[in-house]
Each structure stands twice: as C-alpha cells, then as structure tokens.
Amino acid sequence: MKVAVIMGSDSDFPILKPATELLKDFGIELDVIVASAHRTPDKVREYVLNAQKEGIDAFIVAAGAAAHLAGVVASFTVAPVIGVPINATPMNGMDALLSTVQMPSGIPVATMAVNGAKNAAIFAAEIFAVKDENIRKKLTEYREKMKADVAKKSERVKAQL
Ligand code: RP5
C-alpha cells in the first residue's frame, strides 16, 4: 500500500511531518512532493495522472489559503483523496477549510480538521485496513496505546490534587 503526500509548499511540511511518521509506523509506503494547484498546475496534473503507474493507492493533500490543491488532485483520479486544510493566513485556516471541504457533488475530498494531518494518516490506514490484516493490527495497537496514555494522563491530573 502506498500513499502520496502532496503539499502546496514546504512551509506546510512541519504540519505534515507527524503524518509521514505515522504512515511509516503503520508500514505504509509513501511518496512526498511539493506541488501547487496555482503555482505549478502542470506538475500537479502530471504527478496525479502518473500516480496509478507508480503504485499510489491514496492521496493525502495539504494546502493553506485558497486551498484548491486537494480538489484539483481529486479531479484527476478516482483514488481516495484526503484533504488537510492548513492554517497559513490571518484567517486561521478557515479559508483553507472551506476551500477544501466544499467540493461540488461528484468529486469528493475527505476533509480533516484544520492542521489535522495525523488523522489523515490514520484515515488512509483505515481505508487500507479493510483489506490489509497487518495495518488493521497496527491501528488496533495504536488505539490501545491511546487508551493507556489517557489512563496515565488521568493519574497525572489526580496526582496534582
Ligand atoms: C499555499 O499557500 C501553501 O499550501 C501554503 O500553505 C501557503 C503559503 O505558501 P508559501 O507562501 O509559504 O509558499 O499554497
């Protein structure tokens, strides 16, 4: 299973980095590129049209401001596209959220929260887990670890009383 992570600018990478790490933890291969719907539309088109040949099964696409990148990617493929709106302007990500989520009927983008890159990685893993036993096991372990972490947090709060 392989995911393409496409971001509009290298300034988005600090938000995407934890998602790339999570994908690796889940044993999912990835390719990462910077390409912009507005600044390099030809590069976006060419990359997405070649993606199937390159073994890409799903896309995680992040952009800020007037964030048309995920929608444009979705227009060139029938593979799942998971959008991550980035907080990159004085509008605190609301601009990117609406630009990413409000797709016209027929071309969906599964849109995460503003800066919600880790959930994008988890959602990609959940798509693959339908058919991949190993990824399903890793997701279950991830949930168990979260449960244990919440228990620890609870203990830490109690210790401060
Ligand atoms: C968007 O504009 C990018 O995805 C980024 O979030 C934002 C700012 O880009 P830079 O000016 O930092 O390259 O297209």
| Domain spans, the chain | 2-132
Would you state the CATH architecture of domain 2-132?
3-Layer(aba) Sandwich (3.40)
* Rounded distance from Cα 91 to ligand 1 centre (Å): 13
Please list the alpha-helical segments (H only) found in 41-116.
Answer: 41-51, 69-75, 94-101
For 160, counting Cβ atoms within 10 Å of its Cβ (0-12 exposed, 13-18 middle, 19+ buried), the class is exposed
Is the CB–ligand 1 distance for residue 63 below 6 Å? Answer: yes
Mean pLDDT of 141-149: 97
Average predicted confidence (pLDDT) for the chain: 98
pTM above 0.75, yes or no: yes
Average pLDDT over residues 110-134: 98
pLDDT over 70 for what percent of the chain?
100
pLDDT of residue 23: 98
Q: State mean pLDDT over 25-48.
A: 98
pLDDT of residue 81: 98
The mean pLDDT of 85-94, rounded to a whole number, is: 98
Q: What is the pLDDT of residue 21?
A: 98
| Length of the chain (residues) | 161
Ligand 1, from 11, 44, 73, 115: best to mutate by most atoms within 8 Å of Cβ? 11
The answer to whether the CB of 86 is under 6 A from ligand 1 is yes
**pLDDT tens-digit map of 100-118:** 999 999 999 999 999 999 9
Answer whether 88 contacts ligand 1 (Cβ < 6 A): yes
Ligand 1 centroid to residue 39 C-alpha, Å = 10
Overall average pLDDT of the 77-104 stretch: 98
Ligand 1 close to Cβ of residue 1 (< 6 A): no
